[in-house]
Structure 1
Amino acid sequence: MKELLRTTDPTVIAFATVLLEGEGIATFPLDVHMSILDGSLGILPQRLMVASQDHFRAAAIMRDNDIPTGL
């Protein structure tokens, strides 16, 4: 697993997930509920992970759609 995307915007995670799954790339969101557990208001970033063999293609899809990866 490799980290593809890190952001505090949940809409970016949702959009990236739909794009990648449309291309047949499985995604794994991490840290989705960490801000709630910490008591903060969405200031902790969420991460989107992909399989190592899909990382290069997934990163190209992010660039092609002007999605900043935050890395």
Structure 2
Amino acid sequence: MLELIRTNDPVLISFVESLLRDAEIGFFVADQNMSILEGSLGILPRRVMVDREEAERARQLLRDAGIEHETRPDNDNG
């Protein structure tokens, strides 16, 4: 899986989840349960992960939604 976004913003994560779900793109929110350990302070960022095969489609979806500035650089070297 590749990291699509990394953020502390729960509203942004919810929006991205909704976009991906509606587009039927599989995803996983990593570090979501870390909020329990940090006391829900929002210090630790959550990561939205997508399958390699869906990464470009997911990035295009975020571009179309006007939030491309939130995407992580494509650092996949293989």
For the criterion TM > 0.5, the same-fold answer is yes
Q: Which runs of 4+ in 1 moved over 6 A?
A: none
**TM-score normalised by length of structure 1:** 0.87
Deviations 1:5-40 (A, max 9, x none): 111001111111111111110110011121330346
1:69 aligns with 2:70: yes
**Secondary structure of 2:24 counterpart:** coil
Percent of residue pairs identical: 46
AA partner of residue 69 (structure 1): E
**Secondary structure of 1:44 counterpart:** coil
AA partner of residue 42 (structure 1): G
Cα pair 1:25 1:54 within 8 Å, conserved: yes
**TM-score normalised by length of structure 2:** 0.80
Q: Which residue of 1 aligns with 2:27?
A: 27
Q: Which residue of 2 aligns with 1:44?
A: 44
Please list every run of 5 or more consecutive structure 1 residues that lacks an aligned counterpart in the other structure.
Answer: none
Please list every run of 5 or more consecutive structure 2 residues that lacks an aligned counterpart in the other structure.
Answer: 73-78
In the alignment, the residues of structure 2 paired with residue 33 and residue 55 of structure 1 have an alpha-carbon distance, to the nearest angstrom, of 23
- After TM superposition, the structure 1 = structure 2 runs for residues 53-68 of structure 1, keeping only pairs within 5 Å, are 53-67=53-67, 68=69
